[in-house]
């Protein structure tokens, strides 16, 4: 396929979909003896419309599912009386006879009542029950393997973070940052970078490389989450792990004229949980969600314009407390500790999100929509203090008198928990204090339309998304100072509260001792991202005995990322300057708490006032122009895609099969370092930096591939379904690897560079599952899945750099050995997935109010990434072998309670060819509790407690006994009120 074919196809497609729908309808008219039934299906209790309800006319042999607005259209129905049947999980079946007219559509509004087994008020919480019914219904109706969950089906989100809900779905585990926030997710054990996240089925810009920062997605803006595990041709293929789709609310899906909902809460760090002094000083912050929805009658229509405004504000005050150890690189035990760090930082994250959405139904067949989302993130104060004690990795030799000699920093006699360090030239005690705030803005605009006629369904959309991410130092920066020639003893008997004792050198508690390597750096880095996405889809349903449809579409996407630096400066302490003056941090660090004495930590903002005094500070004039080049790059990725698929059902067997073609073109620009000049050659540091780094380089690459898939399901009985699918997908290389970059060693005559021509990682996927559905709303399923991944991205030597200006390095480094990333490895993943959801209404008495949800996933992996040996599950970085979730809820009258438990097994975080240098994350179990009381539909009060057992996020190196790092995950209590008008 030629490169311009998808573009031409896209233009032709847009021309088709912009054709007036009455022209298509004219060609789509059915027999004059036939009529149409148009209607909606909703809940009589909550007045929410129900997506996925089965609406059938048994005598006519017709059946359809309601769409995401609870709407259905039955066509080609013989005029006259006809009986309709409507069914939905968790609700009583509905039957009614209507009279079908040839001249105009017959309209019907169906309200379903909760199943009799659940109508007892004592055991109902309607929104959660319908959320569970939605999840079960969507999974049951799907042609492929996926999970769906309503945002309110598992109670309140502790941090208002959509990732907290996603992480509770089968086969999914959350990735936590140092503050305990779920930043991204892993689907079926695969790394987060292989997971795509969409909003309403379309991509948007993300600050992360390929892994989205989910803690920036406010859960208050979305109605439900869909996780697609079986790839279909009408979805982007770049989701090797799986695809997450966040769906915004549709105002046309409610029956009321107007609806206002709110959720106001405060997050509190109480004294009965472990907390640092900094956390104790800022114990409370707010979480706010507000939603307004209203339906209007416009231009002669009825309830044909829906407008919604959603607002969310989340202030998350956290302190990160990390303990870090690095050990002797040896498989022998014991291993000495040569590097110990204590890190604490205070962070106040503000996330503000606004969503304005309008949907206009111009006719029974057509809907136009506009959606604007504005996400704003701001961390105005990230105050970081790192205390580090380190030396070399050499054990001192002892002379004839038993006294240590030489330059070795480690004294003999160390144990697995205690190490003593000598005061030699390589032994330092360092303080690094950073103040590095940032802010980001992400507006996203979407315009689209849907046309649903008797045979044809056409939809098209355009989305523009932009992110401006500014890492500004403000009045702060990065301050570093060291005490030289220090001796100490580190005792990690209590690994989370180590004992540090200074034995020699200048006192670390005296500011005058900090005389070595004093520097101050200030930066303002910017990342600008722009994404444009155009899509068009057409579906045609044949008038046959067995439902059959063909669907095709095209996509064009352009993603541009540009990094630059607004400002960058660096200073060192002027020789002969007086000792530093203490400007105390505004918080007391955990190191201070453990030692019982406060370090003279310097607040980095105080340095700004004196950096312009040359008697105190000397600016590195080489640094500023250097950063202007090294921090400047641009990458553009263009994707053109087209697909075709068939979907249908023959008796109890359904199928979906097709193929997708994607072509990707990438280009990049940036600067690489040339041969370094000496100060003697170019005395002016600015001119020397320009000489060294002003070497512009551009590159480009492309790849294309077809992605076939086939899915089959069989309804063995009404409640017992089997599924089998085979699909293909891929994981794109990181955007950062596509920009020109190079690390050069003149001594070794080597260059390590990026590779814009690298292709994606390609996967063949198999899914087999058995699902049994309970009444009123529950299921139990067991599934097997496998992924055969080829073209795994590895780093290797790929040859010798050639001559000439077009050698990829502007003519530099001819004859050097080149190392880069290539597609050379392979991996295989096999796993089992269990899922269980049931309302335990068969139990006696009060126990009828219980509902249990549980899931468990276990996988095994193996791979070869260019070496001679095959690697196993615990040797492949990022693959998580075990995950589990349990949720137990109890509802009685107006009272509700919930317990949720999440488990993630240990896994390899960082791979190294040397097994003793590999880093693992320990298994983690988290427990959350919640209670609520519904005063009225307009008011519910609730209280939740997170991380009740006060777990740490912990890491080890090589073996669990070599504990490496602990990050304190915050525990909190959330009080709130919510309701609906």
The CA angle 654-660-662, to the nearest 5 degrees, is: 160
**Secondary structure of the chain: what % helix, strand, coil (to 5)?**
10, 55, 35
780: burial class by Cβ within 10 Å (0-12, 13-18, 19+)? middle
Q: Are strands 750-753 and 817-839 parallel, antiparallel or unpaired?
A: parallel
- How far apart are the C-alpha atoms of 83 and 680, rounded to whole Å? 95
pLDDT reported for residue 10: 46
pLDDT digits (tens, 9 = 90+) for 254-295: 888 999 999 999 988 888 887 766 677 778 888 898 999 999
pLDDT digits (tens, 9 = 90+) for 28-70: 544 556 888 988 998 888 778 888 889 988 888 888 888 878 8
Task: Enumerate the H helices of 681-755 as residue ranges.
Answer: 685-693
Q: Which two tokens stand for residue 296?
A: 């209007």
Closest CA to 674 of 630, 633, 736, 635: 630
pLDDT reported for residue 163: 78
Judged by DSSP in three states, 873 sits in: helix
Q: Which two tokens stand for residue 281?
A: 């000083």
334 — alpha (psi -120 to 50), left (phi > 0) or beta? beta
pLDDT reported for residue 277: 65
Domain 123-252 falls in which CATH fold? Answer: Ferric Hydroxamate Uptake Protein; Chain A, domain 1 (2.170.130)
- How far apart are the C-alpha atoms of 856 and 874, rounded to whole Å? 19
- Enumerate residues 6+ apart whose C-beta is below 8 A from 544: none
User: What is the DSSP annotation of 256-309?
Assistant: SSEEEEEEEEEEE--TTS---HHHHHS-EEEEEEEEEEEEE--TT-SS-EEEEE
Cβ proximity of 946 and 158 under 8 Å: yes
Q: What is the mean pLDDT of each run of 10 residues along the chain (981 residues)?
A: 47 47 46 78 84 88 85 87 89 90 87 64 52 79 84 68 80 75 81 85 79 71 84 91 86 88 89 74 85 93 92 80 88 91 82 93 92 88 86 93 92 94 96 84 94 91 93 78 96 92 94 93 90 96 89 96 91 92 69 84 82 94 94 93 96 95 93 90 96 90 93 93 94 83 79 80 93 86 93 78 75 80 84 91 86 92 77 83 92 90 90 86 92 90 91 89 84 90 88
Residue 564 C-alpha from the chain's centroid: 25
Long-range contacts at 496-504 (CB < 8 A, ≥ 24 apart): 496/323, 496/952, 496/966, 497/594, 498/323, 498/325, 498/340, 498/594, 499/594, 500/340, 500/342, 500/389, 500/591, 500/594, 500/595, 502/429, 503/420, 503/423, 504/422, 504/423
- Enumerate residues 6+ apart whose C-beta is below 8 A from 654: 143, 647, 648, 712, 713, 714, 715
Q: Where are the strands (E) in 746-777, listed by range?
A: 750-753, 761-774
Q: Which two tokens stand for residue 284?
A: 């409370």
940 — alpha (psi -120 to 50), left (phi > 0) or beta? beta
φ/ψ of residue 212, rounded to 5: -75, 150
pLDDT reported for residue 492: 93
**Residue 62 parent element (H or E):** strand 62-65
- How far apart are the C-alpha atoms of 107 and 963, rounded to whole Å? 67
Closest CA to 260 of 294, 212, 231, 214: 294
- How far apart are the C-alpha atoms of 225 and 153, rounded to whole Å? 11
Judged by DSSP in three states, 732 sits in: coil
Asked if the 253-980 domain carries CATH number 2.60.40.10, the reply is: no
Q: Say what the alpha-carbon torsion angle 907, 912, 917, 920 is, to the nearest 10 degrees.
A: -10
Question: Which whole-number Å values give the CA distances from 467 to 243, 737, 792, in the listed order?
Answer: 21, 20, 30
pLDDT reported for residue 225: 85
- Enumerate residues 6+ apart whose C-beta is below 8 A from 210: 193, 194, 731, 732, 734, 735
> Tokens 């996203």 appear where?
444
Residue 466 C-alpha from the chain's centroid: 18
- How far apart are the C-alpha atoms of 111 and 49, rounded to whole Å? 9
- Enumerate residues 6+ apart whose C-beta is below 8 A from 278: 319, 344, 346, 587, 588
Q: Are strands 337-360 and 366-379 parallel, antiparallel or unpaired?
A: antiparallel
- How far apart are the C-alpha atoms of 454 and 77, rounded to whole Å? 11
Q: Which two tokens stand for residue 339?
A: 């590097």
Q: Which two tokens stand for residue 199?
A: 């909003």
Dihedral sign (CA 946, 950, 951, 954): positive
DSSP state letter for 409: -
The domain spans of the chain are 5-119, 123-252, 253-980
**Residue 98 parent element (H or E):** strand 94-100
- Enumerate residues 6+ apart whose C-beta is below 8 A from 265: 156, 286, 287, 288, 942, 974, 975, 976, 977
Cα Dmax for the chain: 111
pLDDT reported for residue 160: 66
pLDDT reported for residue 27: 42
Question: Which whole-number Å values give the CA distances from 390 to 323, 332, 520, in the listed order?
Answer: 14, 21, 21
621: burial class by Cβ within 10 Å (0-12, 13-18, 19+)? middle
Cβ proximity of 696 and 669 under 8 Å: yes
Q: Which two tokens stand for residue 494?
A: 């209590």
Judged by DSSP in three states, 356 sits in: strand
CATH architecture of 5-119: Sandwich (2.60)
Cβ proximity of 79 and 65 under 8 Å: no
């Amino acid at each position: 396929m030629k490169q311009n074919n998808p573009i031409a196809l896209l233009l032709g497609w847009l021309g088709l979909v912009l054709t007036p729908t009455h022209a298509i309808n004219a060609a789509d008219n059915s027999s004059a003896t036939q009529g149409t039934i148009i209607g909606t299906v909703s809940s009589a209790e909550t007045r929410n419309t129900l997506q996925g309800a089965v609406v059938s006319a048994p005598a006519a042999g017709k059946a359809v599912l309601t769409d995401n607005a609870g709407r259905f259209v039955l066509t080609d129905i013989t005029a006259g009386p006809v009986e309709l049947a409507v069914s939905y999980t968790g609700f009583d079946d509905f039957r009614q006879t209507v009279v079908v007219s040839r001249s105009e559509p017959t309209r019907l509004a169906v309200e379903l009542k909760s199943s009799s087994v659940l109508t007892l008020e004592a055991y109902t919480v309607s929104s959660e029950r319908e959320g569970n019914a939605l999840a079960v219904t969507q999974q049951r109706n799907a042609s492929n393997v996926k999970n769906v969950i309503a945002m309110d089906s598992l109670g309140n989100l502790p941090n208002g973070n959509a990732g907290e809900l996603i992480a509770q779905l089968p086969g999914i585990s959350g990735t936590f940052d140092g503050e305990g926030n779920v930043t991204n997710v892993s689907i079926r054990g695969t790394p987060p970078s292989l997971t795509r996240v969409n909003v309403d089925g379309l991509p948007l810009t993300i600050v992360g490389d390929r892994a989205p920062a989910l803690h920036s997605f406010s859960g208050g803006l979305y109605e439900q989450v869909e996780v697609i595990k079986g790839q279909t041709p009408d979805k982007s293929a770049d989701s090797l792990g799986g695809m997450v789709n966040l769906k915004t609310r549709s105002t046309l899906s409610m029956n009321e004229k107007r609806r206002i909902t709110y959720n106001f809460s405060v997050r509190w760090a109480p004294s009965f949980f472990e907390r640092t002094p900094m956390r104790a000083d800022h114990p409370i912050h707010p979480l706010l969600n507000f939603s307004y929805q209203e339906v209007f009658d416009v231009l002669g229509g009825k309830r044909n314009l829906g407008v919604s405004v959603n607002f969310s504000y989340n202030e998350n005050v956290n302190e990160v407390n990390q303990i870090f150890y690095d050990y002797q690189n040896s498989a022998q035990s014991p291993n000495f500790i040569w590097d110990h760090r204590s890190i604490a930082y205070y962070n106040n994250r503000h996330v503000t999100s606004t969503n304005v959405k309008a949907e206009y139904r111009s006719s029974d067949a057509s809907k136009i929509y506009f959606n604007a989302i504005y996400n704003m993130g701001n961390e105005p104060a990230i105050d970081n203090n790192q205390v580090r004690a380190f030396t070399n990795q050499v054990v001192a030799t002892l002379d004839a008198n038993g006294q240590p000699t030489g330059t070795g920093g480690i004294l003999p006699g160390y144990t697995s928990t205690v190490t003593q360090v000598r005061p030699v030239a390589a032994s330092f005690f360092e303080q690094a204090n950073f103040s590095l705030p940032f802010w980001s803005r992400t507006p996203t605009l979407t315009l689209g339309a849907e046309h649903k006629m008797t045979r044809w369904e056409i939809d098209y959309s355009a989305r523009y998304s932009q992110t401006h991410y500014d890492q500004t130092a403000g009045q702060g920066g990065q301050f570093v100072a060291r005490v030289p020639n220090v001796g100490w003893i580190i005792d990690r008997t209590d690994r989370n509260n180590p004992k540090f004792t200074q034995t020699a050198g200048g006192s670390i508690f005296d500011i005058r001792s900090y005389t070595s390597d004093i520097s101050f750096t200030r930066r303002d880095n910017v990342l600008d991202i722009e994404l444009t996405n155009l899509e068009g889809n057409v579906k045609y349903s044949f008038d046959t005995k067995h439902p059959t449809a063909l669907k095709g579409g095209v996509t064009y996407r352009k993603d541009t990322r540009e990094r630059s630096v607004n400002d960058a400066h660096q200073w060192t302490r002027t020789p002969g300057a007086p000792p530093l003056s203490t400007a105390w941090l505004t918080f007391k660090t955990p190191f201070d708490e453990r030692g019982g004495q406060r370090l003279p930590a310097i607040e980095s903002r105080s340095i700004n006032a004196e950096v312009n005094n040359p008697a105190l500070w000397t600016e590195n004039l080489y640094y500023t122009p250097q950063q202007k080049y090294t921090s400047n790059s641009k990458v553009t990725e263009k994707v053109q895609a087209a697909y075709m698929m068939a979907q249908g059902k023959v008796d109890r067997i359904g199928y979906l099969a097709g193929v997708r073609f994607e072509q990707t073109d990438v280009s990049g620009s940036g600067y690489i370092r040339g041969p370094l000049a000496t100060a003697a050659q170019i005395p002016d540091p600015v001119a020397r930096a320009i000489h060294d780094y002003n070497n512009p380089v551009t590159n480009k690459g492309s790849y294309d591939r077809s992605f076939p898939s086939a899915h089959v399901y069989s309804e063995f009985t009404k409640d017992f379904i089997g599924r089998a699918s085979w699909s293909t997908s891929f994981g794109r290389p990181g955007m950062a690897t596509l920009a020109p970059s190079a690390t050069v060693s003149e001594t070794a005559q080597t260059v390590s560079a990026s590779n814009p021509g690298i292709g994606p990682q390609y996967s063949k996927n198999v899914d087999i599952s058995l699902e049994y559905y309970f009444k009123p709303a529950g299921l139990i399923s067991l599934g097997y899945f496998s992924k055969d991944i080829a073209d795994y991205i590895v780093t290797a030597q790929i040859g010798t750099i050639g001559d000439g200006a077009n050698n990829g390095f502007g003519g530099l480094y001819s004859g050097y050995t080149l190392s880069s990333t290539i597609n050379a490895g392979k991996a295989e993943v096999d796993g089992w997935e269990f899922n269980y959801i049931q309302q335990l209404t068969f139990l006696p008495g009060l126990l009828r109010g219980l509902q249990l949800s549980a899931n468990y996933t276990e996988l095994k992996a193996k791979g070869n990434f260019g070496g001679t040996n095959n690697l196993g599950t615990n040797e492949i970085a990022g693959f998580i072998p075990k995950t589990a979730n349990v949720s137990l809820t109890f509802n009685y009258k107006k009272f509700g309670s919930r317990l949720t438990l999440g488990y993630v097994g240990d896994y390899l975080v960082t791979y190294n060819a040397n097994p003793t240098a590999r880093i693992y994350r320990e298994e983690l179990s988290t427990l959350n509790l919640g209670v609520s009381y519904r005063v009225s539909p307009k008011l519910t009060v609730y209280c939740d407690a997170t991380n009740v057992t006060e777990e740490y996020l912990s890491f080890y190196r090589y073996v669990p006994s070599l504990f490496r790092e602990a990050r304190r995950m915050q525990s909190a209590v959330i009080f709130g009120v919510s309701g609906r008008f």
